[in-house]
Structure formats: structure tokens, C-alpha cells
Amino acid sequence: MMKNKPDEEDYWNSSKFKAFTFDDEDDEFSRLKESKQAVNSIRSLVEEEDDEDEVEKVSWSGEPVGSISWSVRETAASNQKTQREHAFPKINASSPSVSRSHSGYSLSSLFKGDDWSPEETIHRMQQGKVVSLERFRSLQDKLLLLDFSVRAHDGNIITAVILFTLTSIIRVLFRELESRQTALRHFIHYLTEIRDHRLLLELLSKRRDFLKSCLNLPFSPEESAHVQDHYTLLERQIIIEATDRLAEHAGKVEIFQKFPRRASILNMPLITTLYYCCFYHYNEPEGTYSSPLNIRHTFRISEKQYFVTVLAARAKLKAWSDLDALFTSRNWLGFTKKKSPLSFHRVVDILQKNSAPTQVLQEYVGLVDDADLRIGLAQKHKCHDIVINTYRDLKDRQLLLGYRGKVERGSAEERKINDLLDSPVRKRRNYDHHHHYQHVT
Amino acid sequence: MAHSGRRDSPELPDFSLLKRLARDQLIYLLEQQHEVDKLYKVEYKPIISTSDQVCFLIRPRIQTVKWIYVANADKAAGKFRRYKIIFTPQKFYACEAVLEEQGLFGDVTTDEWAFYLLPLDDDIISLELPEFFRDNFLAGDQRWVRTVGSALHLLHSIYGPFSKIYGIGRCAKMAYESWKEQVEEGDTKARQAEIGNAFLIDRDVDYITPLCSQVVYEGLVDDIFRIKCGCVEFGHDVTSSDKSVKVMLNSQDKVFSEIRNEHFSNVFSFLSQKARNLQTAYDKRRGMDIKQMKTFVSEELKGLKQEHRLLSLHIGACESIMKKKTKQDFQELLKTEHSLLEGFEIRECISFIEEHINRQVSMIESLRLLCLLSITENGLLPKDFRALKAQYLQSYGVDHLLTFANLRQLGLLVEQQPGETLTVMESKVGKLVNDKTAGKLTDAFSSLAKKSHFRALSRKLNLVPKSDEEYDLRVPRDMAYIFSGAYIPLSCKLIEQVLERDSWTGLEEVTKLLNGHEFAFTDLRAKSDAQRIILVMFLGGCTFSEISALRFLGRERGYKFIVVTTAITNSSRLIEALLGNKV
């Protein structure tokens, strides 16, 4: 079959047809605009070889075979069609004689020559038998191979066929792949795995939109904002890191001595950076790069997130007065009130995880709105006063009595309970006609 | 404590044959073919060896092949060294192309070790291909389809023939076709089938189940300690000594086999009771004479000691689990998950997730919760999506933009498109089901990224039991016990329904919501007595919770399920496979 090798050499070395190689900067294909053009140039050569008497007609569907350009037009027009794999091209698989595969690499050392058709070849590959792929020179044969491989569902074979066809008609293949999404996925995955950045970038720049749907590349405007923020943050981190490292070494700043830094702040996420600044730079004026307030405003951090982070950092340092100030706001009459963008029971949770003392916990437990939740937390953290006061407000003697057993004997809390129990005010709930006053000695 | 099944439950086939076959093949390859006398583990460090021949046994990954060449080229500069690479379970052309491309010094020969199936236990077989999930579902690479088909074919030829195969999912269908082809190519010997039926299911048919926190004992141990190949390493917090210990967790461990499928709330009391019984048995020796003592020591003591060792291990594990979970507010986390599954108090759930992200509790867990929210709610509202994504990136770093892209591609974490609220989607689907051109629906939905229809599925299949009645976890009444009565795993429910109906009849609306690709095939020639032994193959991974649920189903209905999976998975592994910083 391969009778005219010397002619092929001439053809190959002519300027008309240059194979693609990975090193080829000056590839003629890059100047071809349409796949049709490329195929037409091949087609004309096919027609030249008309004297070949071994023409194999593969008409697997029984329908009349069409021409190459017809099939290519079909392919080019089918960009909108997604499931190409269900419509095999009707192609006249004439004798392969056109192009020679480039010898940059070849699987040929593993394969022997034989006489199978594309469909049979794929079938043999499925059975793990040796085949010769380099026999299939023409575009239509390669595409047939590709289509049969997709039909077989075997990713290993799909990738192999792509690799094989890769060397000689990379860009034409790519256009063909566009309408063969399954095959394209395999190609892209292969490129990702061998990390051929050059090729990947070429594909990216040429067909960005289409690839976006396959690769789902980010960098929408909204995402660009995130990336921009990241760079701004990095710039700051560099400054903060440099300054703090000096300060730490100089040994004059107390907090760095007490709590030595365990790692560099570079490349840490935003919230980690905020925590760091709340820890080491809390009271700085807003103008500095390391001021937590500055970070909050620059990166548009929500009030809730800000509070959570400050809380964690200041609680770690046991800086309770800072927390007090954080939550306190003054209204126009000068009265102070505690407010929080996150629920107070969360505040209590964070404080407790940082081993806050009971008095501090108590203060915040008392601010929890929901009575049941408040009692539950108070009991959990032994905030006796709150429990006692709540029971007092509920006017429930039984509960008070029950709770007395839980406080320390002789403690102030016990005395308080006793006082309340002794109180002469009649309680509606447990009104007992037979109740007598008990005198505490 | 393990509930006794029906008396007519069939026996499981013996899978040790698979192990022997694989081992024999490997020994042959190493000794006869390649004269290997020492094997080293690939650790991505330069190999120091004086021999002139180095043999590698590897998975067919391009990265590994590249490393083999690169790491050794310098060392072998000028030195003639022969490489033998044994790929398992098979070679890939892409790997060979890389070898060719690199133009290795010296000689390279390649070979294949067709090791497909590793029995992890009496009823669990793994292909140990965790990469299957990312390769197949994220990259759309079908390289493993034939592997799975071959694994199925191997099981079919040794333990079949299967008389019925059901399945659902794009990859399941392709695997089935690959299997069918291999069966047709080979010759089926007439034999007495030990496995009658098979069910193939893609992981992406049910993403919800693997994203839920596990509360059956084996699932919890996997979530916390990571079970690898049926083995777990317990650290000093479990062993209460300074050593850590590696333990095999399978039915050979008598203590473990009784608690593995139990809801965690039952486990501790069971173990304490057992410890008391053990103490009693051990105390027997007090009143013994020499003869009795001798008998006791020779017959019982060893067993008691063994039991004691296992008991203390598992009690230690339980304590460690409880400590960790209490610290993490596990109760509240479960409450959020259950609310999401039920569709109840969603805004509170979103607040919880937001705080979870704000407090930087856990990078993987925050993503898991976001995905669970997205799947159950058919996507996040645009404002929620933007806010939560921004906060996630702020808390865990902006390189997760790629992670988000991956999750979006799989349909795990998406933004609701305008006009695509739940009811609109449902009505679209409902209309098309009755439409003659229902096939078009399959096309429209057949992109790799799927839309979730959890609420509709949940209603049709009754996946979320009514919460008004008390659910007794000690006497579970259905598969929902594996999630504390809150949710029946979708995958297992599908299997139950198809087996009940012996087909997909009556489940048309369900399959449309799952994007179709369902199939059922009956081979009348292969009728056998093994109809109630069913092989369930998970393509993309299977959780221990699902295995426990299937065991429960088996006990209830008199089936025996054999779970075959490409790998054991859980929420952490699933999410980790999709992180954006990998190749």
C-alpha cells in the first residue's frame, strides 16, 4: 500500500505542507484560517494520487459516501451541535498516501504494520492487541479513528488517537475537536497532566470562550476584584512583615516578647491577617497599614466578621476592657448600651473557648435576649447571679430552691437565694397557705 | 448488637480467590519476567541504588512516569541502567508516549499487572482508584471506563454469570457497555452463579449522601481517623499510651463487627456492657482449681485478652471521637445539616455557615456545608453566593477561586440563574416528562454539570422521614437511621426501589430528575439461585454510611449486598479531590 514513499518525501519537504512540531515556531499552519483550506490542500493531493488502485470504501451505514470537503463543511458547521459522536461523517476513506507523521515522537516502536480499517483498529486496541496507527495518513481516516474511539468510551484509546494525530495536524485537529467535546476533554486533560503550558496557552488565547466552558476559567469581573484584593493585601503584608520583624528583633515592643510570632504573615488569607493585626496592632490609629480598622475599611469586611475576629484576638489576650469598649456604643443622650452584630450567645461561645473568667462570661450571658437560652448558658458557665435573677424575675420559688443546692455553701450566692426566699412579697406561683417564715440564724 | 437478619439470608461468595490470583500474577511478573528481588516505594526522592536494573510498580500516572525519568536521569548520567516499569492495573498510551518523548537513557521495558480488585472485607471490594472521581467527573476523562468494565468482567467470569444488570449514570452506562463487549468477546463457561445481579451507579447521581456528616461508627472513624485500605492508625489519644497503633478494621475484629453499622449513640453503652461482661468472665478464674485454671488458660484466656485489647481500643476511639465532636459543636452542625435536608429554617443555616467561614473553623468543612446548601436548595441566591464566596476567599485565601470553579463545574456549588427558582425548574421538568420529545430533556441535561433537584427527589422518594414521630435509633425502622433518622441516602433508596420493581418501571419521573442514563438488562439464559446476592458498584466512590445502609436493607429484605467501589470516600476526600491547586 505504501508504494510511493519517495514521492511522499518530496511532498513532505515541499513548502506546501509542513507538519507541526512542538518546537516549530514558524509553522505554516498558523497562517491557515480555515480547516477547509488545509483539507482542500490535502484533497487536491489526494486527487493527484488517483491512479491508486487500492481504494477502500468504508460506508459503514450503507449510505452513499460523500466527499472530503463535504464532510469537513459538515464538521465546521456543526460547532453548535454538541453531541457529535452520534453522527459519524460519511467519508470516502481513500488510500492513505498524503502526509507523513512527524518523527518527533512515535508510537511506532510499539506497533507493527497491518491491514485493519479504522473501526477494526479501534476494536483491536480495545482488546489490547498491537495495531499500527501510522498507516492512517489522511484527515478523514484520523477523524474516523477518533470517532470510533469516542464511541468505544475508552479514555485511554481516545487519548492515544489524539496523541497520534497530534503531530501532523494539530490545529486542524483542534477545530475538529471543537465539535467533539468528549475527545476535547481528554486532550485538555492530557495537556494539563503533561503541563504543556505553551500549547495550553496557545489554545487558550485562540479559543478563549469555548475553552471557558470546558475549563470553566474564572476571572469574571467580580473574580478579578478578588484577585486585585489579593495583590493589595500582599503589598500590605510585605510592609507589615518587614516592620514587625524589625520590631521583634529590636526587643523593645512588649507584645512581641510576650507572644512571639510563630510564622510570617505573607500569603496568609485576609481574615488571618486581620486577626494578626487585632492581636499585635489593635490600638493603632487608623492611618497605619497594620491598623485593624484600616484593613476593615480597605477590604470592605463586614461588621459581623470584624467583630468575630476582634473578639477572638482580644479574648486570647484577655483584654476584656477592649471587648467592653467594642460592644459599647453611646447614644446621643450619653447613655451607653451594648450592641453586637453577632448574637451574644455566639460571643459567649467564643469567649468561653478562650477561657474567659466567669465574671466576663456572666456579663455577656446577661445580654442574651432569649430567656431560655440565657438560663441554659448561665447554668453551663456557672453564672449564678444570672440564674438567680432570672428565677427571681420568673417568680419561681421551686426553681430557686432547687438551684440553692448547686451553689457553694456559705457563698454570697447562697445568701442571696435565701434572702429572696425569705422575701415577704407574696408569690403567685407557689402560694402556700401553710407557709411559715423561716428565720435564718 | 448486630441485628440478626432473616434466616433465609444467602451466604457471601469467597473473595480470597481474587487476592490469590492477583498475588500469583505479581509474583510471576516480578520473579519470572523481571527477576526482581527488592521493591521500593515511590516517594518522589532520588533513588540510590547500585544495581543496574530498577523496577517500578506504579499506577499509570503521567506525573509518576515523568518523575521516574527525571529523578533518575541525573543519577544515571553516563551510566547504563535498565528500567522496568510495571503499570497496574494497566498501561496507558499517554504514559508510554511520555516515555518515548523523554528518550530515556538505557533501556525501558514496560509491563502490566492486571490487579483490579482488592477485597477489603467479606462484602467490600475496592479498585483502590481514588483518582477515578476527579479524572472522570471533573476532567471528563474516560480512561478508567475499560478498567471498571474489566473489573466487572472478572467478577462476572469468576462469580457470575449475572442474570440482571441495572444501573444509572453516564459512566455506569459506559462501563456496562464495556463489560458487555468483553463478555461477548470472551467465552462464558456454564457455571453455578454465586452472584446473581449487579447494580452500577455513578457517584454524581447522589452527591448529597457523601457530603453529610457520618454518624454510624465506621463512618465516624473514617471521618475522623481516615481508614486506608481497611486499616486505621490510632494515635496516643486513643491508646492512652505514647505509642500509636495500626489496626485492621474488618469482620475479623469481633468487637468492631458488632458496632460498625451502629449509630454512634448506641455504641458507647454497648461497649461498656461488653466491658462489664468481659470483667465477669475474667473474674471467673477466682474460684477455679488448678485443672479448671489450666483449661481456662489454654482455651479462654487468649480470646479474652484479644477481646480486651480490642475493646479498650474501641472505647478509646469512642472517647476520642466524643471529645473532638463536642469541641466542634457537632450537635449544632448536625442540626444545620438536618435543616438543610429538610428544607427548614434555611436562613438560619446560611447564618451558621457564614459564621463557620468567619471563624475559620475548617476550610474543607466550610466548603462541604456550602455544597450541601447549594445542592439542597438548587443553587444559592446570587446575593448569598457572592457574599459567602467573598467571605470564604477572605478566610481561606484567594487561590480557592479555582476550587470554586471546579465545584461549579460539577454542579456542587452554583448560583441560581434568574428565573430558575425551584418551582420553575420543577414545572419545566414536569411538563417535559409527558412530552413525546422527552428525549430532548435528556440532551438538555446531559452536560457534565448537572442541576440538582433534591427537593423534588426527596418528595417523590420520601427521603426525609416525617419529623413528628420519635425515631428510635436502637431499633431502626429504615435506612434513615444512618443519619439519625433525618435522611435516607438517595443512592441506596434508588437501589431498593429498582430491586423491588425488578426494573425502572414507575420511576420515570425520578430518573428524569436524575438526568437519565438508567438501564436494565436481563439475561434469561443466566437464571440462577443467586438472585438475592447483589453486587453494587459505585463509580466514583462509596461511603461507609452507604455500606451500612445497604447491609441494613439486606437484612430487611433477605438480600446480601457486595459493595464494589472505585475507592472508599467521605466528604473530606470528595472535597479535597476538587481543590483548585492540584494538577
Q: Contacts for A101-105 with beta carbons within 8 Å, 24 or more apart?
A: A101/A19, A101/A134, A101/A137, A101/A164, A101/A167, A101/A168, A102/A19, A102/A20, A102/A21, A102/A167, A102/A168, A104/A21, A104/A22, A104/A23, A104/A167, A104/B101, A105/A167, A105/B97, A105/B100, A105/B101
Residue in B with minimal Cα distance to A126: B146
For chain B, say whether A272 makes contact (Cβ under 8 Å): yes
- Looking at per-residue pLDDT, the higher value among A411 and B359 belongs to B359
User: Checking phi first, is residue B240 left (phi over 0); if not, alpha (psi -120 to 50) or beta?
Assistant: left
Between the CA of residue B542 and those of A111, B89, B285, B488, B536, what are the distances in Å?
39, 20, 46, 15, 10
For chain A, say whether B141 makes contact (Cβ under 8 Å): yes
B54: part of which helix (H) or strand (E)? Answer: strand B53-58
User: Mutual orientation of helices A139-151 and A181-194 as an angle, nearest 10°?
Assistant: 90
With CA atoms as reference, report the closest residue to B92 among A180, A113, A163, A101. A163
Spell out the domains of chain B, with CATH numbers in brackets.
33-112 (3.40.50.2060), 118-206+488-577 (3.40.50.1910), 217-328 (3.90.830.10), 331-377+379-451 (1.25.40.850)
B119: part of which helix (H) or strand (E)? Answer: strand B118-121
Could B178 and A154 be called an inter-chain contact, meaning their C-beta atoms sit closer than 8 Å? yes
Could A230 and B143 be called an inter-chain contact, meaning their C-beta atoms sit closer than 8 Å? no
Contact B318, B462 (CB under 8 A): no
Q: How far is B355 from chain A (nearest CA, A)?
A: 8
Per-residue pLDDT averaged across B15-39, rounded?
78
Is the CA virtual torsion A323, A334, A288, A309 positive or negative? positive
Residue B556 has pLDDT above 90, yes or no: yes
Q: Which of A132, A182, A216, A233 to substitute to test the interface with B, most B CBs within 10 Å?
A: A216
pLDDT score at B455: 92
What ranges in A17-154 are assigned the alpha helix state H? 35-48, 68-77, 118-126, 139-151
- Measured CA to CA, the distance from residue A282 to residue A276 in angstroms comes to 9
Could A190 and B98 be called an inter-chain contact, meaning their C-beta atoms sit closer than 8 Å? no
Q: How far is A86 from chain B (nearest CA, A)?
A: 12
Contact A154, B145 (CB under 8 A): yes
Q: Which residues contact B281 (CB under 8 A, 6 or more apart)?
A: B300, B304
User: What stretches in chain A show pLDDT beneath 70?
Assistant: 1-114, 165-178, 195-219, 330-335, 424-441
Could A192 and B139 be called an inter-chain contact, meaning their C-beta atoms sit closer than 8 Å? yes
Locus of grid cell 468528549: A182
Apex B208 CA angle, B203 and B210, nearest 5? 65
In chain A, residues with a C-beta closer than 8 Å to the C-beta of B412 are none
Residue B49 has pLDDT above 90, yes or no: no
- Measured CA to CA, the distance from residue B80 to residue B266 in angstroms comes to 63
Asked if omega into B89 is within 30° of 0 (cis), the reply is: yes
Residue in B with minimal Cα distance to A225: B390
Could A270 and B63 be called an inter-chain contact, meaning their C-beta atoms sit closer than 8 Å? no
Taking only residues 374 to 413 of chain B, the set having a beta carbon closer than 8 angstroms to any beta carbon of chain A reads 386, 390-391, 393-398, 401-402, 404-406, 408-409
Could A155 and B142 be called an inter-chain contact, meaning their C-beta atoms sit closer than 8 Å? yes
**Cell numbers given for B493:** 433508596
For chain B, say whether A312 makes contact (Cβ under 8 Å): yes
Per-residue pLDDT averaged across B507-521, rounded?
91
Between the CA of residue A428 and those of A225, A393, A397, B534, what are the distances in Å?
63, 12, 10, 68
Residue B583 has pLDDT above 60, yes or no: no
For chain A, say whether B109 makes contact (Cβ under 8 Å): no
A and B: number of Cβ contacts within 8 A: 139
With CA atoms as reference, report the closest residue to B121 among B226, B225, B231, B6. B231
Residue in A with minimal Cα distance to B443: A83
Among the partner-chain residues B61, B139, B360, the one whose CB lies closest to the CB of A271 is B360
In chain B, residues with a C-beta closer than 8 Å to the C-beta of A307 are none
- Looking at per-residue pLDDT, the higher value among B470 and B259 belongs to B259
| One-character DSSP codes across B35-47 | ---------SS--
With CA atoms as reference, report the closest residue to B49 among B82, B93, B18. B82
Cβ atoms within 10 A of the Cβ of B10, count?
18
- Looking at per-residue pLDDT, the higher value among A173 and B299 belongs to B299
Could B398 and A227 be called an inter-chain contact, meaning their C-beta atoms sit closer than 8 Å? yes
Q: pLDDT tens for residues A319-368?
A: 988 888 888 876 666 667 777 788 888 888 888 888 888 888 888 888 88
* Residue spans of beta strands (DSSP E) within A262-401: 328-330, 336-338
Residue B492 has pLDDT above 80, yes or no: yes
Amino acid at B458: S
> What percentage of chain A carries pLDDT values higher than 70?
59
For chain A, say whether B176 makes contact (Cβ under 8 Å): no
Q: Which residues contact B196 (CB under 8 A, 6 or more apart)?
A: B162, B163, B164, B528, B529, B530, B531, B532, B533, B534
- Measured CA to CA, the distance from residue A96 to residue A3 in angstroms comes to 11
Could B142 and A312 be called an inter-chain contact, meaning their C-beta atoms sit closer than 8 Å? no
With CA atoms as reference, report the closest residue to B486 among B256, B135, B208, B233. B208
Among the partner-chain residues B93, B101, B142, the one whose CB lies closest to the CB of A160 is B93
- Measured CA to CA, the distance from residue B281 to residue B273 in angstroms comes to 12
- Looking at per-residue pLDDT, the higher value among B279 and B412 belongs to B412
With CA atoms as reference, report the closest residue to A327 among A364, A302, A297, A365. A364
Asked if omega into A64 is within 30° of 0 (cis), the reply is: no
Residue in A with minimal Cα distance to B92: A156
Q: What is the CA radius of gyration of chain A?
A: 39
Locus of grid cell 497562517: A31
In chain A, residues with a C-beta closer than 8 Å to the C-beta of B101 are 104-105
Q: pLDDT tens for residues B496-508?
A: 999 999 999 999 9
pLDDT score at B435: 42
- Measured CA to CA, the distance from residue A84 to residue A16 in angstroms comes to 31
For chain B, say whether A269 makes contact (Cβ under 8 Å): yes
For chain B, say whether A113 makes contact (Cβ under 8 Å): no
- Measured CA to CA, the distance from residue A131 to residue A149 in angstroms comes to 14
In chain A, residues with a C-beta closer than 8 Å to the C-beta of B143 are 154-156, 159, 186
- Measured CA to CA, the distance from residue B214 to residue B574 in angstroms comes to 14
- Measured CA to CA, the distance from residue B439 to residue B432 in angstroms comes to 9
Q: pLDDT tens for residues B148-181?
A: 999 999 999 999 789 999 999 999 999 999 999 9
Apex B520 CA angle, B517 and B525, nearest 5? 150
- Looking at per-residue pLDDT, the higher value among B135 and A60 belongs to B135
| Residue-level length of chain B | 583
Taking only residues 358 to 377 of chain B, the set having a beta carbon closer than 8 angstroms to any beta carbon of chain A reads 358-360
Q: How far is A334 from chain B (nearest CA, A)?
A: 32
Could B146 and A272 be called an inter-chain contact, meaning their C-beta atoms sit closer than 8 Å? no
- Measured CA to CA, the distance from residue A153 to residue B539 in angstroms comes to 15
In chain A, residues with a C-beta closer than 8 Å to the C-beta of B141 are 155, 159, 185-186, 189
Q: Which of A194, A275, A299 to substitute to test the interface with B, most B CBs within 10 Å?
A: A194
With CA atoms as reference, report the closest residue to A268 among B369, B360, B367. B360
In chain B, residues with a C-beta closer than 8 Å to the C-beta of A227 are 398, 401
SS3 content of chain B, % helix, strand, coil (to 5): 55, 10, 35
**Cell numbers given for B511:** 430518573
Residue in B with minimal Cα distance to A346: B355
Q: Which of B358, B400, B519, B566 to substitute to test the interface with A, most A CBs within 10 Å?
A: B358
Per-residue pLDDT averaged across B73-95, rounded?
75
Among the partner-chain residues A159, A195, A267, the one whose CB lies closest to the CB of B94 is A159
**b/e per residue B530-550 (b: at least 16 CB within 10 A):** bbbbbbbbbbbbbbbbbbbbb
For chain B, say whether A188 makes contact (Cβ under 8 Å): yes
Contact A337, A350 (CB under 8 A): no
pLDDT score at A82: 33
For chain B, say whether A415 makes contact (Cβ under 8 Å): no
Among the partner-chain residues A107, A189, A272, the one whose CB lies closest to the CB of B141 is A189
For chain B, say whether A252 makes contact (Cβ under 8 Å): no
Q: What is the ipTM of this complex?
A: 0.72
Q: Which residues contact A426 (CB under 8 A, 6 or more apart)?
A: none
Contact B483, B477 (CB under 8 A): no
| Average predicted confidence (pLDDT) for chain B | 85
Q: How far is B288 from chain A (nearest CA, A)?
A: 49
Could B393 and A299 be called an inter-chain contact, meaning their C-beta atoms sit closer than 8 Å? no
- Measured CA to CA, the distance from residue B376 to residue B370 in angstroms comes to 10
Could A270 and B394 be called an inter-chain contact, meaning their C-beta atoms sit closer than 8 Å? yes
> What percentage of chain B carries pLDDT values higher than 90?
49
Could B144 and A155 be called an inter-chain contact, meaning their C-beta atoms sit closer than 8 Å? yes
> What percentage of chain B carries pLDDT values higher than 70?
85
Q: pLDDT tens for residues B340-354?
A: 999 989 999 999 999
Q: Which residues contact B274 (CB under 8 A, 6 or more apart)?
A: B255, B307, B311
pLDDT bracket for residue B555 (50, 70, 90): very high
- Measured CA to CA, the distance from residue B161 to residue B184 in angstroms comes to 12
Residue in A with minimal Cα distance to B170: A153
Residue in B with minimal Cα distance to A268: B397
Among the partner-chain residues B63, B100, B390, the one whose CB lies closest to the CB of A193 is B63
pLDDT score at A167: 55
User: Checking phi first, is residue A315 left (phi over 0); if not, alpha (psi -120 to 50) or beta?
Assistant: alpha
pLDDT score at A187: 77
Contact A407, A418 (CB under 8 A): no
pLDDT score at B43: 65
pLDDT score at A48: 34
Taking only residues 62 to 101 of chain A, the set having a beta carbon closer than 8 angstroms to any beta carbon of chain B reads 82-83
In chain B, residues with a C-beta closer than 8 Å to the C-beta of A229 are 398
